[in-house]
Amino acid sequence: MLTETDTKTLVTIIDDDKPGFLSFKAKKGHIKHIATEDECKLIVQRTNGCDGKIECKYRTCILTGQGRGAVADKDFIPTEGTLIFEHNENEQEIVVEIPQRDSDDKEERNEVFGVQIYDAHPSEVKISKKDTCMIEIVKDAETQK
């Protein structure tokens, strides 16, 4: 029987005995990057479990069909590597270098490229269906609104 001094508490048990699910921490898989910043940083997050050490590969990629595709080595420096998440670690960062141009060219910047995550291990690790994050290089902060 409950009295006035008794309390009720709702307890949520999180199933963290799974290796997790990997996805980009970006709104709708899209990031706007200001052209004057040298590095574009993307966060890959591990959700729905963080048990054990896992890894996945990443790479920059050209996005076709955008009509304003970025050019490798001109608009961004191609990069690839492996992200390693230790046990209970839930975020990793990918850094893509963005070459700077003469001030005249910055007015016209509006290029798009992608960063893809793939080949996760162990096989129980799942990657989002939106495995590619689109990065749009924009002129300035006003364009981001």
Instruction: Look at the chain and report how many structural domains it folds into.
Output: 1
DSSP 34-75: ETT-SEEEEEEEEES---S-EEEEEEEEEPPSSSSB--BTTT
Q: Is 43 part of any domain?
A: yes
Predicted TM-score (pTM) of this structure: 0.80
Q: Is 5 part of any domain?
A: no
SS3 label, residue 140: coil
Residue 65: CATH number of its domain: 2.60.40.2030
Whole-angstrom distance, CA of residue 71 vs CA of residue 89: 34
Whole-angstrom distance, CA of residue 31 vs CA of residue 137: 9
Q: Is 129 part of any domain?
A: yes
Q: Is 8 part of any domain?
A: no
For the chain, the average pLDDT equals 86
Q: What residues does 102 pair with on adjacent strands? A: none
Asked whether 114 and 134 are in contact (CB, 8 A), the reply is: yes
Res 145: pLDDT: 40
Q: Could you tell me the residue range of the domain that residue 99 belongs to?
A: 21-144
Note if the bond before 19 is cis, omega within 30 degrees: no
Asked whether 130 and 30 are in contact (CB, 8 A), the reply is: no
Q: Is 6 part of any domain?
A: no
pLDDT at residue 18 tops 70: yes
Q: Is 14 part of any domain?
A: no
Whole-angstrom distance, CA of residue 34 vs CA of residue 30: 13
Q: Is 64 part of any domain?
A: yes
Q: Is 2 part of any domain?
A: no
Res 106: pLDDT: 45
Instruction: Name the residue with higher pLDDT: 121 or 15.
Output: 121
pLDDT digits (tens, 9 = 90+) for 35-78: 999 999 999 999 999 999 999 999 999 987 667 889 999 999 99
pLDDT at residue 143 tops 50: no
DSSP 12-40: ------S--EEEE-SGGGEEEEETT-SEE
Res 8: pLDDT: 80
